Amino acid sequence: MLLGVGPDGPIPGRRVAVTGIGAVTCCGLGAAALWDELVHPSISGDRSVPDFDPAAYFGPKDARRVDRFAQFAVAAADEALADAGDLAVDPARAAVVMTTGVGGFHTLAEQVQVYNDRGPRRVSPFLVPMMMANAASAHISMRTGWRGPSETVVTACAAGTHAVGAAARLVASGRCDVALGGGAEASMHPVAVAAFANMTALSTSGESRPFDVRRDGFVVTEGAAGLVLESWDRAVERGAHIYAEVAGAGSTADAHHITAPMPDGSGAVACMEQALFDAQLTAGDIAHINAHGTSTPLNDLAEARAINKVFGEPGPVVTSTKGVTGHGLGAAGAIEAVASVLAIEHRLVPPTHGCEELDPEIHLDVVRGEARPWEPGPVLSNSFGFGGHNGCLILLPPTA
């Protein structure tokens, strides 16, 4: 993992291993449920998380004082930490970087209604700690007792990717030995859905069809994902199962428009190139791309053109897991990082659910129909968000 660029080139840091993963998605609870649906997709319509019981993580009383997005974050973090095994980390050298795009929207909307219907004295005193964007990272740090950095990245749909990259840098720099990076979102409130619909961002068909000629917008979802990251040498020493290595991360801004992507894709191009430089790789090294692939006409085309500029035509094998999961906004990048790790682990690239007829203007090798076996190599995971935020991660198969 590279930390930056000095006058003589990149500044190398410690290697960063992924040793635990967790996910709460519309596919069900757990990373295994996510993978099963990605490989054998059947989902359509509603993308809310099924059968989630927050009392299992907080107890009935405390659960009522934690917004749904933070509940998801804690559940995903619990799974990732259990998966990582006995970390035995110094709490002062362990970090949490958990992100969101919107934060406690459900709580805010409900309490506005309380204010309007019943007056100011009936507004919950827990409104602020429930709605604040940093609630998820705070709850995880309190739950673990970790006293290192506890931070929140809020960069719209690029946030989950930025969080994993930021967590990896804390480990690579030597500031922390272990960090949990991820994202959480629960904004499927009628007001938020109406806002997305009125800006014509949502699919009118209710189907997510990344890169398909019929795509007409994204399908909103909720959920969370988390990845436990630790120094490579530490993971090897304790005999941890290493899923992958975080080799590089990029972050740029379009500086163009509050919602629309840069038409020429230059911001995305710069971000992908920055991630490659960070990982000390060339475009020819990348074997697979987990695309942002939101299923919106403008974003899919802009991303495809940006990929072609960096990698040529058709470039590496591409999938968009949003065909299954829908668009998780601030959680999306973290969910897709977990999906990328699982693609390495299972030696399969999931198909792009909903993509049946590739848009003739899109010149990518998009996996369709069935999962494609592959010899795992470097994976690029892309996330591009409102505000012109761009984030990219590069993950490597584990090697000595």
Nearest of 394, 389, 160 to residue 283 by alpha carbon: 394
106 is catalytic: no
The sign of the CA dihedral 40, 46, 52, 58 is: positive
Q: Omega into 314 within 30° of 0, i.e. cis?
A: yes
Assigned token pair, 155:
């960069």
Residue 253 burial class via C-beta count within 10 angstroms: exposed 0-12, middle 13-18, buried 19 and up: middle
SS3 185: strand
Q: Which of 292, 353, 389, 392 is catalytic?
A: 292
Tens digits of residue pLDDT in 20-35: 999 999 999 999 999 9
Instruction: Tell me the C-alpha distance between 143 and 125, whole Å.
Output: 22
Assigned token pair, 306:
């940006």
Counting as low any pLDDT under 70, the low residues of the chain are 1-12, 400
Assigned token pair, 323:
């065909």
- What angle separates helix 105-118 from helix 190-198, to the nearest 10 degrees? 110
Please state the separation of Cα 25 from the chain's center in Å: 11
Residue 237 burial class via C-beta count within 10 angstroms: exposed 0-12, middle 13-18, buried 19 and up: exposed
Partners of 229 in the beta sheet?
18, 179
Instruction: Tell me the C-alpha distance between 106 and 101, whole Å.
Output: 13
Between β-strands 379-385 and 389-396, what pairing exists: parallel, antiparallel or unpaired?
Answer: antiparallel
Q: Domain-by-domain residue ranges, the chain? A: 17-396
Domain 17-396 CATH superfamily? Thiolase/Chalcone synthase (3.40.47.10)
Q: Which of 27, 106, 139, 157 is catalytic?
A: 157
363 is catalytic: no
pTM assigned to the model: 0.95
Instruction: Tell me the C-alpha distance between 322 and 292, whole Å.
Output: 8
339 near 318, Cβ under 8 Å?
Answer: no
299 near 217, Cβ under 8 Å?
Answer: no
Please state the separation of Cα 104 from the chain's center in Å: 18
Tens digits of residue pLDDT in 218-277: 999 999 999 999 999 999 999 999 999 999 999 999 888 988 888 888 999 999 999 999
292 is catalytic: yes
- What angle separates helix 159-172 from helix 332-346, to the nearest 10 degrees? 70
Which pLDDT score is estimated for 10?
47
Q: Which of 106, 162, 327, 353 is catalytic?
A: 327
Instruction: Tell me the C-alpha distance between 193 and 143, whole Å.
Output: 32
Q: Which residue has the tokens 């299992």?
A: 56
7 Cβ contact list (under 8 Å, min separation 6): none
Instruction: Tell me the C-alpha distance between 81 and 36, whole Å.
Output: 21
Please state the separation of Cα 10 from the chain's center in Å: 26
Instruction: Tell me the C-alpha distance between 217 and 203, whole Å.
Output: 4
DSSP 357-376: SB-TT--SEE--SS-EE---
Which pLDDT score is estimated for 7?
40
